[in-house]
Amino acid sequence: MAEPFTTEPCAAEPATAEQAAAEPFTAEPFASEPFVSEPFLARTSWAVRSWWLCARMWMRSMMAYRASFLLNLVASLVTHSLDFVVLVIMFEHTDRLGGWSLPEIAFLYATATFSLGMANLLVGSADGLGVRIMSGSLDTMLIRPAPALSQLCAERFSLRRLGRPLQALMVLAWSLAALDVHWTWDRVLLVPVLLVCGSVIFGAIYVGGATVQFWWGESKEIQNSFTYGGATLLHYPPTIFAKELVAGVVFGVPLAFVNWLPSLRILDRPDPLGLPTAFQYASPVAAALCVAAAGAAWRAGLRAYRGTGS
């Protein structure tokens, strides 16, 4: 005769309500959040993919109005070109500025402008962190299964920001053709390294400056003084500034590694501070340190964040 059917509690579940109340609650990480427990490379890959998915959404919405996009891009190119026109007009009245010729200063201008432009294109939206904190919309990003920093940097991604780096590349091409430089393998290699590392340094400054808004919501202009103000500083040769200022952008906020120090090697110029030659090749080290500092500041800001209180 068949045994009567009986039900028994599942081994993974408490048999009674009292046992359920006595057992502590444990939460498992979401399956859609690989960055919770995966190694560094997997977390980085997921962060980049999250950025790309958010940025692509904004690109698709922008390309729905292609005529408007093209007009905005042309307007951006023309507007940013005015900065270089000022330098050209300046050289109508002098042959040298701090001992540097127009093609040499054009090289400084182009490399600094390109680095700032790429950083602004990729992570420039991070400066809107303060608005999200005050409105409470940062909480929405924090509960999504994607890194909040990736979402923040891709917020309102705009291809019209390509105008700045494109204009800088045109000036860079002209300066390289006009310069009288003895090109060696290390000087040739320094040019792309300079552009990539400069973009990373400015990007880290964008993120690091934005994290100040976790504690001080009205600090956006402080960030702008180091990004836009720093790029304007780098348009001109270090020889026209006081040595104390030059030392400050080497050992303080490392803007000198964006283009000043590598350019001394490329253009065969003496170092006004007399630093070791290794500093002229140290842009990758400076970029890595900036990224580490910006990441630490972001994590500290998230730990200190307590919401809007509303």
**In this predicted structure, what is the pLDDT of residue 117?**
94
- Give the span between the Cα atoms of 171 and 235, in whole angstroms: 12
Q: What is the maximum alpha-carbon separation in the chain? A: 111
DSSP, residue by residue, 212-275: GGGT-TT-HHHHHHHHHHHHHHHTS-GGGS-HHHHHHHHHTS-GGGTTHHHHHHHTT---TT--
**In this predicted structure, what is the pLDDT of residue 93?**
86
Q: pLDDT (tens digit, 0 to 9) for every residue of the chain, 310 residues total?
A: 444 444 444 344 444 444 444 444 333 333 334 444 457 788 888 888 999 989 888 888 888 888 888 888 888 888 888 889 989 998 988 888 988 999 999 999 999 999 999 999 999 888 888 888 888 888 888 888 889 999 999 988 888 889 899 999 999 999 999 998 889 999 999 999 999 999 999 999 999 989 988 888 677 778 888 899 999 999 999 999 999 999 999 998 899 999 999 999 999 999 989 899 999 999 999 999 999 999 999 999 999 888 765 5
Terminal alpha carbon distance of the chain: 66
Q: Which two tokens stand for residue 254?
A: 């490392």
Looking up tokens 């580490």, which residue turns up?
292
Residue 89 neighbours by CB distance under 10 Å: 9
- Give the span between the Cα atoms of 223 and 299, in whole angstroms: 18
Looking up tokens 């127009």, which residue turns up?
102
E strand or H helix at 42, and its extent? helix 40-62
Angle, helices 163-178 vs 102-123, to 10°: value is: 160
**In this predicted structure, what is the pLDDT of residue 216?**
82
Please state the pTM of the whole predicted model. 0.82
- Give the span between the Cα atoms of 167 and 80, in whole angstroms: 7
**In this predicted structure, what is the pLDDT of residue 38?**
58
- Give the span between the Cα atoms of 129 and 210, in whole angstroms: 6
Q: Which two tokens stand for residue 172?
A: 């860079």
Q: Which two tokens stand for residue 251?
A: 């050992």
Exposure on the CB side of residue 310, measured as CA atoms within 13 A = 8
Q: Which residues contact 243 (CB under 8 A, 6 or more apart)?
A: 272, 273
Q: Which two tokens stand for residue 122?
A: 């990729």
Q: What is the DSSP-derived secondary structure letter of residue 181?
A: -
